[in-house]
Structure 1
Amino acid sequence: MGPLSQEQLRLGRIGYLNVLPIYYPLESGIVSHNFEIVSGTPSFLNGLMARGDLDLSVVSSIEYARHPERYFILPDLSISCRGAVKSVLLLSRNPIDQLDGETILVSSQSHTSVALLKILLSLFLGKKAVFEPASCTEALERGKQPVAFLAIGDEALRLRHHPEYPYQWDLGQVWREWTGLPFVFALWVIQRQAVERWNGRLAPAIRSLSSAKKWGRTHLNEICLQATGENILDIEELHAYYDCLGYNLDSDEQRGLELFYRCLHRIEEIGEVPGLEIYSISEHSGGSFQPIERFNFPLNGAMLFNQTN
């Protein structure tokens, strides 16, 4: 193995259209970087990060909640929405409020989306359902006709107009209407061990990600042209899709994330509510990272828990 300076950071990449504005500038050479990029589903990347096989990655936001001791959150990066997200959909044959006790097929590719559905059914509607992990597309192709299914990512974009499932929840929209806050589906995190190992030499990597996000968000026409190659959406639909997505992690996104974590604790998906430990490049330490103090925002959604008590 060569000197540390010659090594590449292993960076995880979700294989969905929603990350294209950040990864296309990196993979095409528009933004220089020192990453080895590894692609996979959100759950696959969560597993690689949990085992320490990646240095940094986009991960489901629930992964940080389950293992905050392993990670620092990278600054000002997320996959989020302030309303409809279009790619996290509950599709049902019956009205959503009639799903109490029913079995819902759920994608095994995103733990965050499944947890969000549990929260919305339990705390928002006061309903319970049975969740069965499955590939929604494969189930439908085999002739299985579930009462309802949760589809995410590119699968949701393909199935969103299924004629036999007229009732639909866009989970980003429902969360927004319920809480008034954005929902953060994914974060970029870095292993704490990687921070120690690289000892302050991570600043160029974070700047590359920041530059890629800036380029991608200001060149959406090119991003959409690239995305048409997946044959999922046409160019107008792609523009509408990317307009729904946010890639920042501002104070509103942080408040939404913290409320999500409180809801996870409420439904006993996590043992305690983690603080958000975010790293930023210090101007006074030669480009190393310094932790920002844990945020403790007052949450407008605190009264939501009273609705189902």
Structure 2
Amino acid sequence: MMMRNRIVAVSYLNTIPFIYGIEHAGIDLYADLLLSPPRGCASLLRDGGAEIALIPVAAVPSIPDIRIVTPFCIGASCSVRTVVLAADSPLDRLDTIYLDSHSLTSVRLVRILASKLWGIRPEWKELKDFSALNAPQPRTGYLIIGDKVFDHEEKFRYRYDLADAWREMTGLPFAFAAWVARSGVDDRTVERLAEALDYGVRHIPEAIACYGYGDRSYAYDYLTRNIDFVFDEQKRRATALYWQEGRKIDPPINPG
């Protein structure tokens, strides 16, 4: 009997076009869909909990026996808006930066930018209690990703968009997450997945309405102006450069 594949994807607003396509394109992927924060997607794939996944690009080199599939990603060619370093002090006055560890890609990206673009050497700590975002500390930055940015972005005097900063440093767009599959996943399944994702990206208004974002005034602009879903050659170049720079970064998070 043929086993069903398991597909895991990110549980954020930026993924709902993909989710809509998988669930509504009318294409039988013979698969079950799971949702998780970015880092959880990589863990599920690594631990055998899924065969196909949308994972942070930082995790791709660390998982054996996978390949990037489909011409789709979660990327940005301009401001991404939902991956930001936020603070009440300017960059050159930051002593500490707390890291939202839900995405290893963003954690490594902010460290690359700190070293190569901004020239700062803060103490890095894990952001464990997100209530800290309601009362920002002086000389302290907070890496915030995902939907929580919409709720907290106006609370900070300074916001540094990481996609903008990467483009300033490299002249390239950025891909935060890519679709990957284990080597045992057949090509026909990959083709069907790409068809489903394409359907979803072409039906963004329907996805917004379907998943309860219809009353969010920012949703459509975000998905059509901030997020770029195409994993093109420039984003592939950016990903290779990011991996190269990431290898120079030590494990970033200190307990406490």
Under a length normalisation based on structure 1, what TM-score does the superposition of the two structures give? 0.75
Higher relative contact order (CA 8 A, sep 6+): 2
Q: 2:141 matched to which residue of 1?
A: 148
Mapping of 1:163-182 within 5 angstroms?
A: 165-182=156-173
User: Are 2:62 and 1:66 aligned?
Assistant: yes
| Contact persistence 1:78–1:248 (CA under 8 A) | yes
Q: Is residue 84 of structure 2 the alignment partner of residue 89 of structure 1?
A: yes
- Equivalent residues of 2:25, 2:196 under 8 A apart: no
| Alignment-mate amino acid for residue 180 of structure 1 | G
Alignment match, 2:151? 158
| Alpha-carbon separation, structure 1, partners of 2:206 and 2:149 | 23
The corresponding residue for 2:123 is 130
Q: Where does residue 218 of structure 1 map in the other structure?
A: 202
Q: Deviations over 1:196-237 (max 9, x none)?
A: xx5xxx23321222122221222222123235x258832xx2
Rounded to whole Å, the distance in 1 between the matches of 2:5 and 2:73 is 19
Q: Hey, what does 2:52 align to over in structure 1?
A: 56
Q: Distance in 2 between matches of 1:155 and 1:64?
A: 25
2:188 pairs with 1:188: no
Match in the other structure for 1:282: none
Q: CA deviation at 1:150?
A: 0.8
SS of equivalent to 1:33: coil
Distance, in Å, in 2 between the alignment partners of 1:257 and 1:135 is 28
Structure index of larger Rg: 1
Aligned position for 1:239 = 220
Deviation per CA, 1:166-225, whole angstroms, max 9, x where unpaired?
111010111112211111100111123xx1xx5xxx233212221222212222221232
Give the match for residue 243 of structure 2. 261
Q: Distance in 1 between matches of 2:215 and 2:107?
A: 23
Distance 1:45 1:184 in 2: 16
Q: Show the counterpart of 1:15.
A: 11
Give the Å deviation of 1:111.
Answer: 0.5
Q: Following superposition of structure 1 onto structure 2, how do residues 259-298 of structure 1 map, counting pairs within 5 Å?
A: 259-268=241-250
Secondary structure in structure 1 of the residue aligned to 2:234: helix
Distance across 1 between alignment mates of 2:12 and 2:215: 11
CA deviations 1:134-181 (Å, max 9, x no partner) are: 24633235x56462211101111221211xx11110101111122111
Is 2:240 the partner of 1:251? no
Measured in 1, the distance between the counterparts of 2:126 and 2:249 equals: 19
1:76 partner amino acid: P
Gaps of 5+ in 1: 270-309
Shift of 1:125: 1.5
Residue type of the partner of 1:92?
Answer: A
Q: Is the 8 A contact 1:107 1:136 kept in 2?
A: no
Q: Which amino acid counterpart does residue 216 of structure 2 have in structure 1?
A: L
Distance of 1:40 and 1:52 partners within structure 2: 15
Residue by residue over 1:208-267, the C-alpha shift from the partner in whole angstroms, topping out at 9 and shown as x without a partner, is 22122221222222123235x258832xx2121012212222111110101111111233
The SS at the match of 2:61 is helix
What is the alpha-carbon distance in structure 1 between the residues aligned to residue 243 and residue 166 of structure 2?
Answer: 13
* Contact persistence 1:137–1:155 (CA under 8 A): no
Question: Which residue among 77, 98, 103 is the counterpart of 1:110?
Answer: 103
Identity %: 26
